[in-house]
Structure 1
């Protein structure tokens, strides 16, 4: 577990943890105040004492053929408020770059309309 920077919403530490989801090892970048647990109905929910919701999974951009969002990219996002990521077209043919910014509900958001210079 390592500290990557400050949360864009509550200024607490954002940490990196290795987790296993459906048999795959991925990283979870999460604000220390955004805790989740399984409730009685086996739903993965925020705990009663969670005061923030900022969480990003390293596989957040899989549908755009980006295998992993790295700790380096996450640090840059936290430091600068945005960062550029490389995405790929279908079958990995073409590559293109887009800016991403923090998003309170989804963790990160791609700025589709903005062209990366």
Structure 2
């Protein structure tokens, strides 16, 4: 499924279901970002890979956000930012932050920016 246009190479960003570390997750990846296992069993970009934009749906698990949804990814690609809901360590406090595309990490949280309420 095509979610939008890559912010870096203008290729299509697609959604794939994969299994990583025994868990089923979604991978949002530019069609020009290709990875494979090399001879040392490292997961590396292929020689014909021209882009590095990849985001795993569990990217915000560290902040108690279970999944980064396809709708959130579509908004990120369309608006170049998306508001995400994160939770405190104990899961009781919730807060909102902007997430933006990041060339190396796929997505980055703007910790110093406050989300404006509509």
1:11 alignment partner in structure 2: 10
Deviation at 1:22, TM superposition (A): 1.3
Deviation at 1:109, TM superposition (A): 0.4
1:64 aligns with 2:63: yes
Question: Structure 1 stretches (4+) deviating beyond 2 angstroms?
Answer: none
1:90 alignment partner in structure 2: 89
* Matched position secondary structure for 1:72: helix
Aligned length, in residue pairs:
116
Q: Distance in 2 between matches of 1:75 and 1:92?
A: 26
1:112 aligns with 2:111: yes
2:39 alignment partner in structure 1: 40
TM-score in terms of structure 2 length: 0.97
* Matched position secondary structure for 1:110: strand
Q: Distance in 2 between matches of 1:22 and 1:112?
A: 28
Deviation at 1:23, TM superposition (A): 1.1
> Cα RMSD between the aligned structures?
0.4
TM-score in terms of structure 1 length: 0.98
* Matched position secondary structure for 2:76: helix
1:31 alignment partner in structure 2: 30
Deviation at 1:91, TM superposition (A): 1.6
Q: Distance in 2 between matches of 1:20 and 1:86?
A: 24
